[in-house]
């Protein structure tokens, strides 16, 4: 059964411990993946030199790639299995599209992968294959990755990008989850969601031209997974807003489904 392409904001690692409107929205939507056979996840927190890498680990470890949080968070694990055959298929499809790709036999699940999946698929019942963002990429490169892998959706694989439309840690209201959202964050988030809903890859690839991009996207790694998901979408896909809102004032938590 055809599976969707998703973009999930993952916010701070503490979403793993949360029970709120955002996490409940992920859990509700995750039930729509009951017919999936696997999850391919591109996270903002895995960048690789030279080429994209797919993890071929059979039992990917849970990576606690953060510090300064409670021991309770470090004790959490997401024991999903991997799928080496799918990882090899991912590399083949990217290579066939003229994109440099390879396998990483040991890469586990960074917090950009496992913290949203704890809510999306709490039973960790589907294999998970992480995919890296290659360094020295352009926005067009990331869209091309999504397009090259879109066919996996017909083979029962949900394609997921996790990051955040606005991600400027220097301007967050840290410690105040109800901090007011500045207008620059609202404006850029609204624009990006609208353009994503229209599958307007040209506009999204030119996001640096937006007046608020400098504040909203000081570096591209959290925005790029949105480009991946839109690249994997198709003209006949229905677009669903899984969740809209902000955390810590300026951190977009928007989540979208394509198909």
pLDDT per position as a tens digit, 186-223:
999 999 999 999 999 999 999 999 999 999 999 999 99
pLDDT of residue 176: 61
Domains of the chain: 5-258 (3.40.830.10)
Q: Report the 10 Å Cβ neighbour count for 233.
A: 27
* Residue 166 to residues 83, 157, 198, 199, 257, Cα–Cα distance (Å): 32, 27, 19, 19, 18
Q: Does residue 38 surpass a pLDDT of 70?
A: yes
Global model pTM greater than 0.85: yes
- The SS3 call for residue 15 is helix
Q: Report the 10 Å Cβ neighbour count for 142.
A: 28
User: Would you place residue 106 in the very low, low, confident or very high pLDDT band (cuts 50, 70, 90)?
Assistant: very high
- Strands (DSSP E) contained in the chain are 5-9, 38-48, 52-55, 101-104, 128-134, 157-163, 239-243, 246-247, 251-252, 255-258
pLDDT per position as a tens digit, 45-84:
999 999 999 999 999 999 999 888 889 999 999 999 999 9
118-136 mean pLDDT: 97
Mean pLDDT (the chain, rounded): 96
Share of the chain above pLDDT 70, in %: 98
pLDDT of residue 172: 79
Residue 218 is classified by DSSP as: S
């Amino acid at each position: 059964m055809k599976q969707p392409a998703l973009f999930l904001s993952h916010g701070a690692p503490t979403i793993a411990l949360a029970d709120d409107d955002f996490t409940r929205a992920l859990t509700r939507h995750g039930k729509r993946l009951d017919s999936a056979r696997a999850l391919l996840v591109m996270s903002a927190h895995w960048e690789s030199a030279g080429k994209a890498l797919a993890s071929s680990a059979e039992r990917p470890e849970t990576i606690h790639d953060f510090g300064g949080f409670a021991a309770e968070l470090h004790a959490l694990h997401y024991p999903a299995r991997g799928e080496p055959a799918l990882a090899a298929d991912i590399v083949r499809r990217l290579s066939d599209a003229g994109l440099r790709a390879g396998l990483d036999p040991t890469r586990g699940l960074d917090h950009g992968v496992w913290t949203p999946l704890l809510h999306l698929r709490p039973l960790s019942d589907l294999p998970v294959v992480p995919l890296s963002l290659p360094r020295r990429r352009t926005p067009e490169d990331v869209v091309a990755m999504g397009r090259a892998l879109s066919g996996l959706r017909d083979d029962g694989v949900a394609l997921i990008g996790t990051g955040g439309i606005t991600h400027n840690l220097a301007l967050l209201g840290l410690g105040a989850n109800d901090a007011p959202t500045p207008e620059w964050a609202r404006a850029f988030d609204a624009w990006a969601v609208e353009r994503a809903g229209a599958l307007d890859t040209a506009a999204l690839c030119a996001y640096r031209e937006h007046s608020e991009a400098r504040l909203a996207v000081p570096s591209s790694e959290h925005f790029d997974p949105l480009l991946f998901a839109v690249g994997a979408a198709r003209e006949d896909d229905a677009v669903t807003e899984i969740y809209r809102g902000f955390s810590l004032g300026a951190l977009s938590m928007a989540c979208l489904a394509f198909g």
